[in-house]
Structure 1
Amino acid sequence: MTQRIAWFAWMLLALAGCGQPLQLDAAQRTRTPLITQPAATTSVPDRTVIAVAPTRTPQAPTQERSPTTTPVARTPTVFIVPSTPAPQTNEGRWRAQQMDRQVLDPPQIYRVTSYATLFWFDPMTGQILEIGKLRGDVPVQARFRLRSTGEAALELSYRINNDFGLTAISEAVRSRMEAAGYTVSVEAFLLESDAVQAP
């Protein structure tokens, strides 16, 4: 009988407890929802993490230290300066037309027995021009061969419009001589031939 009463009392207490609303922690209720919603499927771009150095508070000026770096070996710079040949003079251009030049010192007198042509090399244009025809004795100061043809030639000095009876040469030739810087005399030449006799 006592056991029945005890069991009955226990049942009453249990039933009385069931009639009261269940007390839950409010904070716990908001943190754990009973119904969960599916997460959104939007893609989130990757984020780059940038490390920012902490700022320092201004202090008394101190000497900054440069970061230690390994010295880089430098290849020496080489400058190549091409040698520019000196500008050639008119006389140098004329000498360049001569091969196997033999200077006759003092000049030797050659006899021209029939008319022979006296030529002049224009150093400005590289052309050989005819001055005129001469005959008689001429002082030859050098012997050479023309580079262009290989012909044997005799060099002599000619005073413009004065020597060898050539006193009225072409105005065009005289103008070319002046343009090359010759107003008094030029180095002219004769080609060796049967008409030109050596002394």
Structure 2
Amino acid sequence: MRQHYGWIILAGVVVALSGCLSTLPTHLDVSGPLPATLPPLAQTLRAATAPTLPTPVQSPFVPSITSTATVAIIVTTPEPATVIPPTPTLAPVPTLVLPTLPALSNEERWRFQQLNRQIFPEPRLYSTKRSQLYWYDPVNQQSVLLGVINGEFIAQATFTFRENGQLALEVPYEINRSYGLSALSPAVIERIRAAGFTDWIETFVFLTSDVQPK
């Protein structure tokens, strides 16, 4: 818009100068001095044709916005160390020491089953109508039935059998020959051999009403 006004002003100046130039004499006496009141034409034209610079428009004050960048500082907090609770100290348990039992022989194991064993001064003769003859296996620690006897037999001691508390007579027995028991099973013979016996073993009968001294 200001440039438009400038061109209008410039056109007016040109028109005015044209009028002035028309009134000037066509032939000038260049030998004489030029009028001092008239400005030089070139200076006038230069002034007329000089572009009019637009007046800078003062823009309203706009406060500058300073952008403040907020820098997020990430502080890595280390994880707390795992605290392992101390292992409670236990009082030492006293070691239970069991007494070491002496190893028993097969005969000692058999004797252990005979409570209050009383040896006869001499072997005694007894008779029975029907009695069961037993042998104690010291290896397997159990009583083994050998068979049933009747008639007379010899006893050399009396005792109380630990397992059942019954009174019994100790009877010597020759394997597969005494008291008519001559056909013991091979399994029983094998157990007798495993216990270390070959010919004679100590057997027993329970002292009942069927057993009578002679």
TM-score when normalising by structure 1:
0.56
Partners of 1:115 and 1:164 in 2: CA distance: 12
Partners of 1:157 and 1:116 in 2: CA distance: 15
TM-aligned CA deviation for residue 82 of structure 1: 8.6
Aligned to 1:162: 177
Partners of 2:169 and 2:183 in 1: CA distance: 23
2:160 to 145, 155, 159: 145
Partners of 1:194 and 1:82 in 2: CA distance: 44
Moved over 3 A (4+): 81-86
TM-aligned CA deviation for residue 171 of structure 1: 1.5
Partners of 1:116 and 1:171 in 2: CA distance: 22
Aligned to 1:179: 194
Partners of 1:149 and 1:82 in 2: CA distance: 28
Partners of 1:191 and 1:178 in 2: CA distance: 24
TM-aligned CA deviation for residue 100 of structure 1: 1.3
Aligned identity (percent) is 39
Aligned: 1:87 with 2:106: no
Q: C-alpha deviations, 1:42-81, integer Å up to 9, x for none?
A: xxxxxxxxxxxxxxxxxxxxxxxxxxxxxxxxxxxxxxx9
Aligned to 2:213: 198
Aligned: 1:109 with 2:119: no
Aligned to 2:133: 118
Aligned to 1:97: 113
Partners of 2:99 and 2:145 in 1: CA distance: 37
Aligned to 2:94: none
TM-score when normalising by structure 2:
0.52
Aligned length: 118
Amino acid at match of 1:91: E
Q: 1:117 to 1:82 in 2, by over 3 A?
A: closer
Partners of 1:115 and 1:170 in 2: CA distance: 21
1:131 to 106, 122, 146: 146
TM-aligned CA deviation for residue 183 of structure 1: 1.2
Amino acid at match of 2:148: K
Aligned to 1:17: none
Larger Rg: 2
Gaps of 5+ in 1: 1-80
TM-aligned CA deviation for residue 192 of structure 1: 0.9
Gaps of 5+ in 2: 1-96
Determine helix, strand or coil for the equivalent of 1:91: helix
Partners of 2:140 and 2:161 in 1: CA distance: 17
CA RMSD of superposed structures (Å): 1.6
Q: 1:185 to 1:82 in 2, by over 3 A?
A: same
Partners of 1:83 and 1:191 in 2: CA distance: 35
